[in-house]
Amino acid sequence: MISRLLVIDAALARAQLAVVEDGRMLVQRSSSERMGMAARIPLMLAEMLAALNPHNIDAVTVTVGPGSFTGIRAGMALAEGWAMAAGKPLIPVSVGEALRQSIPDLQGRSLWAAIDSRRDHAFLETDHGAVSCALASLPRPDGPVAVAGDAAIEVAARLLAQGFDVMLTDARQPDLLGIAAAALLRAQGHLPPRTIAPFYIDPPEAKLPAGGLRPAPSEA
């Protein structure tokens, strides 16, 4: 039985970590600085766990995306490394799944998690999957929708301007209790299984040079 969860989230603008037990926050840390995040969040984790007995943690959960390539990689690397070293299960949660747990009443609407992907584009995670789309050419909702995420204001405004039935929520980033709640639902089988892998939508922007990272060794 999972009671105490280590929660790690760096998928969006803020890196945040917590230990949650039975829906209560025991300790948490957060940082909005994106530069040097990969090096900073292990220090945040060590500081946070110094006040607790880490052996009492039952499982680790981490947000796997959609979101920032760098943040997703940093958060997942920390979560996977700690879970492996501690011998604890790792439970992946998407940003949309976590946001859903942060909103108590959707009033019968489907949820669109709208994540800013820059250059007037957004990632949309819905009940039907996830897509990358231009803000100027959003898909048509198939019914009333609620919109959450850091691009929610822009997406909701554009949908409303086209006459769709839209509710703008105040959930911009998954909260730590929402992530923990989604993880428990997955562990209990109430959410479908998810692969422990980054939930990327767009391909990476960085590409290897055609000739590789360095010249081939010369033959003597």
pLDDT score for 31: 87
**R_g of the chain computed on alpha carbons:** 19
Confidence band of 33 (pLDDT split at 50, 70, 90): confident
Tell me the CATH number for domain 4-96+174-187: 3.30.420.40
- What's the length of the chain? 220
Give the Cα separation of 220 and 140 in Å (integer). 63
Pick the residue with more confidence: 9 or 216? 9
Q: Which range among 22-36, 39-53, 123-137, 191-205 shows the weakest confidence by mean pLDDT?
A: 191-205
pLDDT score for 216: 53
pLDDT of residue 79 exceeding 90, the answer is: yes
Q: What is the pLDDT of residues 114-141, one digit of tens each?
A: 999 888 999 999 988 899 999 999 999 9
Geometric angle at alpha carbon 203, from 198 and 206, rounded to 5° = 100
Where are the chain's structural domains? Answer: 4-96+174-187, 104-168
